[in-house]
């Protein structure tokens, strides 16, 4: 039986953290058991906002690969590859771009939000067009299941539109993917900011030592209404409670009750989550140090995954060329 294909990736703009683990990595670890899973390093997409800092790509690429492997993405089950090393994706992007309107990109809500928040002074062509490149990321291997966050839905819709348009214009060879929306809410930062992010300095990294976890949790914001130990708390606005829910779900209802009734102190609550986080990260640290000590093994994982992706991409491209009549000398 042919397994359905899953594809997801990350821009290589920085190391991954607990928010990524909770929101996507752990899900990929589950998906790889059942599906032909592709996980890729979106270095070209990273360039859309970081074109002036290409020197960081290689370093980020290595760190994220270690994050993947340490989180439990198994290279025997998942295909890991590097976007820029599958040039067929770029080729497909160019072909798709012929029938995508600039207006549809300008009205894409995620593009709008990201360009407002970005440090870029102008709207760049590559950035505006990255959803088209994302459609190529997905369709080159005919992936059907795309696990993403809510913000990626407009891109998925565009991909589906591109596939339909391509199939109707040329020949029905591409496959419409569907989004698999992450059910876990976005993880808050240790400072209570809605988003855990390395650049905001409120993230718990996947290679944290026990001391680092202890320190970050000790300093983390809690419900400001709880001045004294017995003050009733509001767990739903507390980052520590969000962490309980994310990584200690069995114990979370009890924490919720004892916080609301003021029967557990913030420091006892923090102690519990510190232990749970350390237990979660401990096997990741182990796998990380295994791979970090074996750069050649990591390189082979990326090269062989990229080779598999590229073989598939070349097959798809030859179908695409034929569908579009670009196969001049191989008819
Ligand atoms: N834009 C995605 C993100 O920021 C990363 C990404 C690039 C992606 N290409 C993709 C995700 C294709 C899913 C499918 O998270």
Query: What would the pLDDT profile of 197-217 be if each residue is shown by its tens digit?
Result: 988 999 999 999 999 999 999
- CA 279 / ligand 1 centre spacing (Å): 29
* In contact, 198 and 204? CB cutoff 8 Å: no
User: For residue range 211-262, what is the model confidence (pLDDT) as tens digits?
Assistant: 999 999 999 999 988 888 889 999 999 999 999 999 999 999 999 999 999 9
Task: State if residue 148 touches ligand 1 by the CB under 6 angstroms criterion.
Answer: yes
- CA 129 / ligand 1 centre spacing (Å): 13
| Domain identity same for 282 and 306 | no
The DSSP code sequence of 168-183 is HHT-S-----EEEE--
Phi/psi for 320 (5° steps) reads: -65, -45
Residue 329 lies in a domain: no
Give the pLDDT score at 75.
98
| Domain identity same for 228 and 284 | yes
Give the pLDDT score at 227.
86
* In contact, 204 and 216? CB cutoff 8 Å: yes
Task: State if residue 50 touches ligand 1 by the CB under 6 angstroms criterion.
Answer: no
User: For residue range 284-302, what is the model confidence (pLDDT) as tens digits?
Assistant: 999 999 999 999 999 999 9
- CA 230 / ligand 1 centre spacing (Å): 45
pLDDT of 331 higher than 80: no
| Domain identity same for 15 and 132 | yes
- Pinpoint the alpha helices (H) of 26-152: 26-31, 43-50, 57-71, 87-97, 102-106, 109-117, 125-128, 130-139
Dist. CA 100–CA 158, nearest whole Å:
9
Instruction: Count the helices and strands in the chain (H runs, E runs).
Output: 15, 5
Largest Cα–Cα separation, the chain: 80
Residue whose CB lies within 8 A of the most ligand 1 atoms, among 90, 93, 134, for a mutation test: 134
| Domain identity same for 285 and 299 | no
Nearest residue to 134 via CA among 16, 7, 35, 304: 7
Rounded to two decimals, the pTM is 0.95
Phi/psi for 114 (5° steps) reads: -65, -35
Nearest residue to 8 via CA among 152, 109, 118: 152
pLDDT of 72 higher than 90: yes
Confidence label for 156 from pLDDT (cuts 50, 70 and 90): very high
Residue 68 lies in a domain: yes
213-236 core/surface letters (b: 16 or more CB in 10 A; e: else) = bbebbeebbbbeebeeeeeebebe
Confidence label for 321 from pLDDT (cuts 50, 70 and 90): very high
Give the pLDDT score at 198.
86
Coil vs helix vs strand at 42: strand
Identify the residue whose C-alpha is closest to ligand 1 atom 6. Answer: 9
Residue 197 lies in a domain: no
| Domain identity same for 102 and 213 | no
Identify the residue whose C-alpha is closest to ligand 1 atom 14. Answer: 8
Give the pLDDT score at 116.
87
* In contact, 222 and 240? CB cutoff 8 Å: yes
| Domain identity same for 155 and 46 | yes
* 178-181 β-sheet, strand order: 78-82, 36-42, 5-11, 145-148, 178-181
Residue 42 lies in a domain: yes
Give the domain range for residue 214.
207-289
Give the pLDDT score at 158.
98
- CA 267 / ligand 1 centre spacing (Å): 38
pLDDT of 181 higher than 90: yes
| Domain identity same for 98 and 18 | yes
Q: Domain holding 24: CATH number?
A: 3.40.50.620
Give the pLDDT score at 225.
86
161 Cβ partners below 8 Å, 6+ apart? 104
Give the pLDDT score at 185.
82
Identify the residue whose C-alpha is closest to ligand 1 atom 3. Answer: 10
| Domain identity same for 124 and 144 | yes
What is the token pair recorded at 181?
């929306």
* Count: domains in the chain: 2
- CA 84 / ligand 1 centre spacing (Å): 14
| CB burial of residue 18 (10 Å; 0-12, 13-18, 19+) | buried
111-148 core/surface letters (b: 16 or more CB in 10 A; e: else) = beebbeeeeeeeeeeebbbbbbbbbbbbbbbbbbbbbb
| CB burial of residue 292 (10 Å; 0-12, 13-18, 19+) | middle
- Summarize the confidence of residues 24-43 as an average pLDDT: 97
- Summarize the confidence of residues 22-39 as an average pLDDT: 97
- Summarize the confidence of residues 184-207 as an average pLDDT: 92
pLDDT, the chain, mean: 95
Residue whose CB lies within 8 A of the most ligand 1 atoms, among 25, 148, 163, for a mutation test: 148
User: For residue range 262-286, what is the model confidence (pLDDT) as tens digits?
Assistant: 999 999 999 999 999 999 999 999 9
User: For residue range 76-133, what is the model confidence (pLDDT) as tens digits?
Assistant: 999 999 999 999 999 999 999 999 999 999 999 999 999 888 878 899 999 999 999 9
């Amino acid at each position: 039986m042919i397994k359905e294909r899953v594809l997801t990736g990350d821009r290589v703009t920085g190391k991954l953290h607990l928010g990524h683990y909770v929101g996507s990595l752990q899900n990929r670890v589950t998906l790889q058991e059942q599906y032909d899973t592709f996980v890729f390093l979106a270095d070209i997409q990273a360039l859309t906002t970081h074109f002036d800092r290409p020197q960081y790509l290689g370093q980020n690429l290595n760190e994220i690969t270690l994050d993947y492997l340490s989180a439990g993405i198994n290279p025997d089950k998942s295909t890991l590859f590097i976007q820029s090393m599958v040039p067929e994706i770029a080729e497909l992007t160019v072909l798709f771009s012929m029938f995508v309107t600039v207006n549809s990109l300008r009205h894409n809500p995620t593009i709008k939000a990201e360009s407002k928040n970005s440090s870029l002074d102008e709207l760049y062509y590559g950035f505006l067009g990255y959803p088209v490149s994302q459609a190529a990321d997905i369709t080159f291997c005919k992936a059907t299941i795309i696990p993403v966050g809510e913000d990626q839905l407009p891109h998925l819709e565009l991909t589906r539109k591109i596939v339909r348009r391509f199939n109707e214009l040329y020949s029905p060879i591409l496959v419409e993917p569907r989004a698999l929306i992450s059910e876990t809410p976005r993880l808050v930062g240790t400072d209570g900011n809605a988003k855990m992010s390395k650049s905001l300095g409120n993230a718990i990294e996947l290679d944290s030592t026990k001391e680092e976890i202890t320190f970050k949790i000790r300093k983390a914001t809690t419900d400001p209404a709880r001045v004294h130990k017995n003050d009733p708390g509001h767990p739903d606005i507390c980052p520590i409670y969000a962490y309980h829910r994310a990584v200690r779900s069995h114990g979370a209802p009890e924490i919720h009750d004892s916080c609301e009734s003021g029967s557990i102190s913030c420091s006892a609550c923090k102690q519990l989550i510190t232990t749970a986080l350390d237990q979660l990260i401990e096997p990741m640290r182990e796998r990380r140090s295994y791979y970090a000590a074996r750069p050649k093994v990591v390189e082979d994982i990326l090269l062989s995954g990229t080779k598999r992706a590229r073989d598939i991409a070349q097959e798809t491209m030859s179908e695409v060329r034929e569908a579009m009549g670009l196969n001049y000398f191989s008819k």
